[in-house]
Amino acid sequence: MKIPIAKPDIGDDEIKAVMETMKSGWVTQGQKVEEFEKSFAEYCGVKHGVATNSGTAALHIALVALGIKSRDEVITTPLSCVATTNPIVYLNAKPVFVDVDSTTLNMNSAMVEKKITQKTKAILPVHLFGHPVDLEPLIEIAEKRDLYVIEDAAHAHGARYKGKRVGSFGHVSCFSFYADKGITTVEGGMALTSDAELAEKMRLLRCFGMSQDRKFYHSVLGYNYKMSDIHAAIGVVQLKKLDSYIQRRRKNIEHLKAQIKNPNLKLPNEQDYAFNVYYACHILTRKGKDKVVEHLRKSGIETRPLLSFIPEQPPYQKYGYVRNECEIARDAHRKGFYVSNSPLLSRNELDYLASTLNKSLSEIE
């Protein structure tokens, strides 16, 4: 592939940090994890960070700590990675899907309230592809209905809603540091909160439910979701680069928009309330998606489907979702895909990507 879907920036500083950690004699969860937790929480404007071994794990301990249980309902988006909804199902709770906004592809905040029932306990919005959800209406609904808000910010490191960084609005927010995310620890995640009691619950849950003061005494059923100091050492270095990564990603999209003149293709946008970090370059086609994707493949440009339309995934069939209830999300999934927006993309690579996308129109005429 000339342009792979992801190209993490692991350089000499990250390698040095890993080597120093390995030589220190302490490689499991320790001081580096604490440093990363503190730094990332401060960056996002919250008080506490709880590092985990994945973003999925962060969502899981957040839901458990908030008391989500069997037969509860959590309102969320149908268009995301299943990592958003799987932890809900782990607890035998039910994801309740709200269709997306046609412009941002994020949960349509105006449609949430009519989905609330007596079983609803939380709202779980996803800042898809780095564009913030319209959070203010969701927070108003949650306060009025006594619901929790859990931000899935796996794509949105550094994104801002009305000037304030995402991850600082919900009762809990969860991030992923997988290899293709805004910054990486290779594998890893983090739950953020300004609630000290909630943070302690999540710390307990990520480490077998074991008391910090009494070794091998487990007051609750917990999990082995810890992050290692080796992974955290990479994260500490990466965080220092995050703002520069965001600037490059934003310039990439600006350049592509200036170059791509194909009316069949709709590129990412940015609403007035948002500061989009453009985790990837997602594209909607008016027609001929499969031919466009095949043209890109033949040209050495890797693509991915527009994540998952979750209600149609086999493990979710048991809930009996109405097939056409989330039509905008379903249509976007059928017509959309994404390509790399790595901060390492060169101007030549961006020009090649743009020209190839422009030429794709001839493939469907």
In b/e form, how buried is each residue of 212-229, taking b as 16+ CB within 10 angstroms?
eeeeeeeeeebbebbbbb
Q: How many CB atoms lie within 10 A of CB 303?
A: 18
Is residue 83 a contact partner of residue 130, using CB atoms and an 8 Å limit? no
Q: Which residue bears the tokens 């008016």?
A: 286
Q: Which of 285, 273, 288, 274 has the alpha carbon at shortest distance from 339?
A: 285
Phi, psi dihedrals of residue 160, rounded to the nearest 5°: -130, 145
Q: Which of 193, 190, 128 has the alpha carbon at shortest distance from 159?
A: 128
Paired with 282 in beta bridges are: 338
Is residue 106 a contact partner of residue 126, using CB atoms and an 8 Å limit? yes
Is residue 306 a contact partner of residue 79, using CB atoms and an 8 Å limit? yes
Q: Which of 32, 94, 121, 181 is catalytic?
A: 181
Is 47 marked active-site?
no
Q: Report which DSSP code applies to 147.
A: -
Residue 173, H or E segment = strand 172-176
Catalytic residue positions? 181
